[in-house]
Structure 1
Amino acid sequence: MKNYVLLFILSVSFFAQAQDTLFGAPDELTPKINDDKTVTFTLRAPKADSVQVTGAFLPFTKVKSPMGDMDKEGIANMTKGENGVWSYTTSVLPSDLYKYHFIVDGLRVADPTNSFGLRDVSAITNFFIVPGDRADLYMVQDVPHGTLASRWYDSPGLGIDRKLSIYTPPGYEDSKADYPVLYLLHGAGGDEEAWLNLGRTVQILDNLIAQGKAKPMLVVMPNGNVDQDAAPGAGSRGYYMPTFFTAETMNGKYEANFMDVVKFVESNYRVKAKQASRAIAGLSMGGYHTMHISRFYPGTFDYVGLFSAAINPRIDQSGVGVYDDLDGTLKTQMDKGYKLYYMAIGETDFLYKTNEEFRARLDKIGMPYEYVENGDGHIWRNWRIYLSEFVPRLFQE
């Protein structure tokens, strides 16, 4: 009898919690995007002494780090109103995707009334999109959609099966055509999920293709961390704290074995296996990988994109001299030819000086490139812009 009573109590408790989840949720998603494109944040915290909101919609400040001066998102104080509801309204915001979180009495807090979040390294943040202009590319529109798949491939060079994300364009499954490929590489702290979640790659490709601004293409987003087979929680190591720099980061092994990715794609998908139909691009660490992969395998990629790229090589542990003779291999890459070598960076990026020095190196050897410089620093806002501008340049034969 006691067991039945206990079961009844647990059942009632579970049902009460379920009802609270189902019926206790707020009626309106926050933050509220106003008609004038200001945004109002609210948080009910009646016992809090201080509530703040932080995000890229506020002016950045500079903070010191081992890598140099980094941009830190601004912080705004919220005002306490009736029923313990704190609020803050921004100035008019440009169309974009914005991450944010609250700080309650010094403690980082997610927005309990916003169901949508993103993982950036180990931090989960909420986000919202101010529509119009550029951000319309980042939203799901009523257009034909491509297919996103997670695939495992064998990397003999790294000695493990590894995971990648791959986008195939609308109509791929019903077509017999062969397609070009963009290999898109993430930065430090990222993985095969970063360009999907933070970069909005699928939405950008769907919308650009639908507008006729980009050729239908595959986009391959591999994991660039040598010691991972997949993103934390998605691979054989199970659940663990993501870190900014993993073991064997940027030591040449990834670049030396990158053709394992290319071979998998060209063996399993209908693609054009030639230089004119291959592009490679990446942000930060992914830009570093892109620069070294493209010069270590000259004549392989016709389109190269360096987005806020880390440049200076580290200790080479590849065993094949991936970082040897930088000028000589760049000259070989130039001699074998390519159609576009694209570099982009924000004017306040902590990697600005090293990119400036790398451009001087390219100028000295006469290597052609296109250069884009805009505002802001080392942030996803810029990398979504660079991807949106780079993709329409590809495969325009």
Structure 2
Amino acid sequence: MPKKLVLVCLLNFFIAAVFGLLLRYAFVQPMSLNYRFLTHAHSHVAMLGWVYLMLFTLIVHYFIPDKKPIYNRLFWVTEFAVVGMLFSFPFQGYAAVSIAFSTLHIFCSYYFAYLIFKHHKTKNKVTSRLLKWALAFMLLSTIGVWCLGPAVVMLGQASAFYQIAIQFFLHFQFNGWFLLAVIAVFFHKLQLQDSKEFRLFFKFLIIATILTFALPVNWFAPHPVLVWINGIGVICQLFALYYFIIIIKPALKAFIKTQASVTKFMYDFALVCFVLKMLLQSASLIPEVSNVAYQHRNFVIGFIHLSMLGVISGFLFAFLLQNSLIKHSKTLTFGMYAFIFGFVLTELILLIQGGFFYFGIGLLPNYYLILFLCSILLPLGIGCFIINIINTRKNVAETT
């Protein structure tokens, strides 16, 4: 796996984490930076600079046997788009320059999908199906982006149409493209073969991903039918989780035995977050839970971070920990535990504060300061990972 590409992805993640830290510091000490603009920069660099490009690198590494130069060039063009968003969003938000770079990224993703469909070669139906559907959801999600312009012109940013378009993009990015791509790499690592259980898992997961979009739609355009559609999706998701556990359990035991302790812990962390995410989504069957989650921003941010930092980033880190680019050391172990500890602490603080708001108790004492201090552990952990890769001069043997 190319060292430069991995470092670029991690550096994007580090910058996104620092932006997140600044967003939390803004509540401790007011800053001159525009909070909303910085939020856009934080989310775009995290999603498109870290997760998207890391998945790009992993997919090419594992599923493209003939590494054509076009992939390297496409990576750098896509990174150029990310850098453009990095330097435009904090100063102008959604405007001509940032929209131009966002559009460039979308066109790069279209070309990437085309290349993968054309060049990927694997005899394993398991990873092939997951990968193809992951890319299909990526393409589908961009419909939401193309709807934003017409939504603003016709109805304005406060309209249900505009909000649903944003949710469409986010839903099929997180629950479709990101999640299925990560599972594809994970199943490739486990060397899982096609089976009746996998086919059931796959069908339930695809159906659930499509139907559960009814929940965010119901937030902005309430209708009883949407509640039932989401309910069916949630039930399908629970079946998918059941079959997921069945199919990975035998292979996971043998796989984990060969890994270093920090790698084992990272896989366990990612899997626990994945199960927790699925169970929390299932709680949306209860209308009161769904409404409370939407009305209190702490719960929304906590769930987004559970998906982004816990599930997706947890798996991505686990994959990288098996790679020859890193050398297991005390610095690396400290960094990974710092990241996980920071994640767990901030999630707990957000959850507790959300509960306080719900029961009308008010703010936790020194809430913003504590949240900021705990958040320092996130870029610290990512920074340790980057330092480890930079300092690893010789390739070590693959652990797989």
TM-score normalised per structure 1: 0.29
Greater length-normalized contact order (CA 8 Å, ≥ 6 residues apart)? 2
Q: Where is the strand percentage greater, Structure 1 or Structure 2?
A: 1
TM-score normalised per structure 2: 0.29
Larger of the two Rg values belongs to structure: 1
